[in-house]
Copies of this chain bind each other. A is one copy, B any other.
């Protein structure tokens, strides 16, 4: 064969590629990550930060460990799977570097490689603290949305508990949301995970809202929650209606049963 890709000296497609789009000078930046996972809590929160702060894209990350797939956006345009790093100017002491992605890597090695690349970019932009936003799946519907947390050093934990975060004891966090935190120390950064309590059955803007409130308190950075509060209310209304219909169906079925006819149980 005349042409041998991949042999020493002839480049394959690199496993991780970083496309730098701008060179910002963020003010005391803090990295905040939210990737797709159970409950979509983290991704929804990260996307919200990008929107509400009109964040500017800094870099794109491509990984051959992303699933073999192309996304189609609302305009009908096909877009390769990627991760994106944004710079959000808060004007409040700490800027935010927000990282999110279309998918999680499909392999262990891919997850560690992508995390290392993102943390390295953030470190180069002088971040030394990374927050990972994710879901704490309970399997049941709750009125309140508590926020659970962990950090890579004991000394940071009071900063969480003093701001209403319940410290997790034992257990673990899987996927990129866990690996970003676990890999922080390698870059000399502190890693913190904030997990919003949610059932896991429905998309839950209220859980993302809780997590963002906790982040806001911990950093002392105000975040305009108007829009996400509205989404949370809408979601709650829809859910109550569904619940109401279910309960009504159960009552009717019970009544029917008493009358000896088979009922429909919602």
Residues of B within 8 A of A1 (CB): 17-20, 62
Interface assignment of A78: CB less than 8 Å from any CB of chain B: yes
Complex contact A76–B8 (CB within 8 A): no
Q: Which of A58-113 contact B (CB under 8 A)?
A: 62, 64-81, 104-113
The interface bits of chain A over 116-150 (1 if a CB of B lies within 8 angstroms of the residue's CB, else 0) are 11000000000000000000000000000000011
Residue pair A106, B106 in contact (C-beta under 8 Å): no
How far is it, in angstroms, between the C-alpha of A110 and the C-alpha of B70 when the chains are bound?
Answer: 15
Whether A68 pairs with B108 at a CB distance below 8 angstroms is yes
Instruction: Check if A8 sits within 8 Å of B8, measured CB to CB.
Output: yes
**A83 CB to nearest chain B CB (Å):** 12
Are B112 and A68 touching (Cβ within 8 A)? yes
Size bracket of the A interface: 35 or more
Question: Known: A64-B112, A108-B67, A174-B67. Is A150-B72 also a contact (CB below 8 A)?
Answer: yes
CB proximity of A262 to chain B, nearest CB, Å: 21
Contact A73 B170 (CB under 8 A): yes
A167 within 8 A of B: yes
Within 8 A of B (CB), among A25-80: 62, 64-80
Instruction: Decide: A70 and B17 in contact? CB cutoff 8 A.
Output: no
- Write the nearest CB–CB distance from A37 to chain B, whole angstroms: 11
Q: Does A207 contact B (CB under 8 A)?
A: no
A178/B70 contact (C-beta < 8 A), A78-B152, A185-B80 known: yes
Residues of A within 8 A of B (CB): 1-20, 62, 64-81, 104-113, 116-117, 149-154, 157, 167-176, 178-179, 181-183, 185-186, 191, 193
12 sample A-B contacts, Cβ–Cβ < 8 Å, listed by A number: A3-B18, A5-B15, A5-B16, A5-B117, A12-B113, A13-B112, A68-B105, A68-B112, A69-B172, A69-B175, A76-B154, A80-B186
